[in-house]
Structure 1
Amino acid sequence: MRKAEIKLTVELDDNNVPENITWESTDGENQDALPVKSMMLGLWDPGYQNTLRIDLWTKDMPYDEMKIFFCQNLLQMGDAFLRASGGDPMAEKLMGDLKDYCEHFSEKMNIMNK
């Protein structure tokens, strides 16, 4: 069995606010830690039938970038669900609805061209 490791490192200030976030993977082409400004990690707990989440962003993450980050995450979760569903027609319909919502979201947040 092959294993891969994903490592997240969060540097906090004196008030426990993230100043720097880096990530690295043993499976990636680049073995160096890469800096990021925000992360969302969702894990499924089968025992409690609940999602465990870690959402972090650095204090220098601009609000305009945060809006784009959220919109792109919504779309990527929809794409992942569609792939996981194996072509379920209802999932395809819901993905269309989600794309419509994300278009509305991006229009309201003024990020249409980003």
Structure 2
Amino acid sequence: MSNTSTIKIQVGLDDQKVPESIQWSATDNKEERMIKAKGMIVSFWDPAERAALRIDLWTKDMMVDEMADFFFQTMMTMADTYARATQYKDQAQELRDFAKDFYKKFQEKQKAEGQ
């Protein structure tokens, strides 16, 4: 018998069904409580349809700078995962370079707006 792990995600919604809270837990996690989050990106690969199925949610109190950090870190992690899975280190580096440029442009916009 193989081991299994369960991931649980709870999303609290306001009256307009906009996320107010996101919490998650996993049976393999050392934390025995629900962990708070402000955003999530979950992707599943459907081999029959050859398509990515996604759930992208963020709470209404997630700040723009937090979203930029979240996307930067997600893209960097995706590059690491792609490199491990394919050994195409050149393409993984291109994604890292894009993520760095993306974040730099965000910082420039924030500076120009006086934030």
TM-score by length of 1: 0.90
Runs of 4+ in 1 over 3 A off after TM superposition: none
The residue identity in structure 2 corresponding to 1:62 is M
Query: Any unmatched runs of 5+ in structure 2?
Result: 109-115
- Residue 57 of structure 1: how far off its partner (Å): 0.1
Aligned 1:3-18 pairs, distance under 5 A = 3-18=4-19
Aligned CA-pair RMSD: 1.1
Q: Write the deviation string for residues 56-105 of structure 1: whole angstroms up to 9, x where unpaired.
A: 000000011001101111111111111111xx3xx100111112111211
Answer yes or no: is the 8 Å Cα contact 2:79–2:93 preserved in 1: no
What's the counterpart of residue 102 of structure 2? 105
- Partners of 1:103 and 1:77 lie apart in 2 by 13
What is the aligned partner in structure 1 of residue 56 from structure 2?
55
Q: What pairs up with 1:40-79 in 2 under 5 angstroms?
A: 40-79=41-80
Q: What is the DSSP-based 3-state SS (H/G/I as helix, E as strand, rest coil) of the residue aligned with 1:110?
A: helix
Q: Note the C-alpha offset of 1:110.
A: 0.5
Matched residue type, 2:101: H
Partner of 2:107, secondary structure, is coil
- Which secondary structure state, in structure 2, belongs to the residue aligned with residue 59 of structure 1? coil
Aligned length: 107
Alpha-carbon distance in 1 for matches of 2:20, 2:73: 23
Q: Identity across aligned pairs (percent)?
A: 39
Deviations 1:3-55 (CA, angstroms, capped at 9, x unpaired)? 11000000100000000000001111011000000000000011101000000
Partner of 1:67, secondary structure, is: helix
- TM-score normalised to the size of structure 2? 0.89
Amino acid at match of 2:89: E
Once residues 31 and 17 of structure 2 are traced to their aligned partners in structure 1, the CA distance between those partners, rounded to angstroms, is: 29
